[in-house]
Amino acid sequence: MENKICTKCCKEKPINEFYSKIDRKSGSSYCRECFNKYCTERWITRKIDAIKYKGSSCVDCELTYPHTPYPVFDFHHLEPTEKDVDWTKLRLRSWDKIILELDKCVLLCSNCHRIRHHNKLIF
């Protein structure tokens, strides 16, 4: 079996431990493990940057990042009909496109976000 060296961890691994790329004959230069770790770190950084862009605190209860861990925060669209994409898709776009979507949102902690949606349902 053919082996390849990951440019991130510098370990030699079987070629099937690398993602293949249609446009690149040799496939990814990072092994799957390093590539997945890179993507996760990038997405976390994107979310933290987005939280900071929105002021770093829940607009309803004043929980703040970094005192409160980043996963607690959500981006709530003030006008749901203007929502283009969910954060899981948005995080993959350019920062300029992320900002366009974030400008339609307020930053809420997950509890306040759920309360807002609940109140919208019962009133």
pLDDT digits (tens, 9 = 90+) for 97-108: 999 999 999 999
Residue 73 has a CB neighbour count (10 Å cut-off) of 25
Domain borders along the chain are: 44-122
Model confidence band, residue 118 (pLDDT cutoffs 50, 70, 90): confident
Report the SS3 class of residue 104. coil
Widest pairwise Cα distance in the chain: 63
pLDDT at position 23 is 52
Average pLDDT for residues 8-15, to the nearest whole number?
A: 94
Task: Find, among 85, 73, 76, 83, the residue nearest to 48 by Cα.
Answer: 73
Is pLDDT above 70 for 20? yes
Tokens of 30: 């990072």
Average pLDDT for residues 59-88, to the nearest whole number?
A: 90
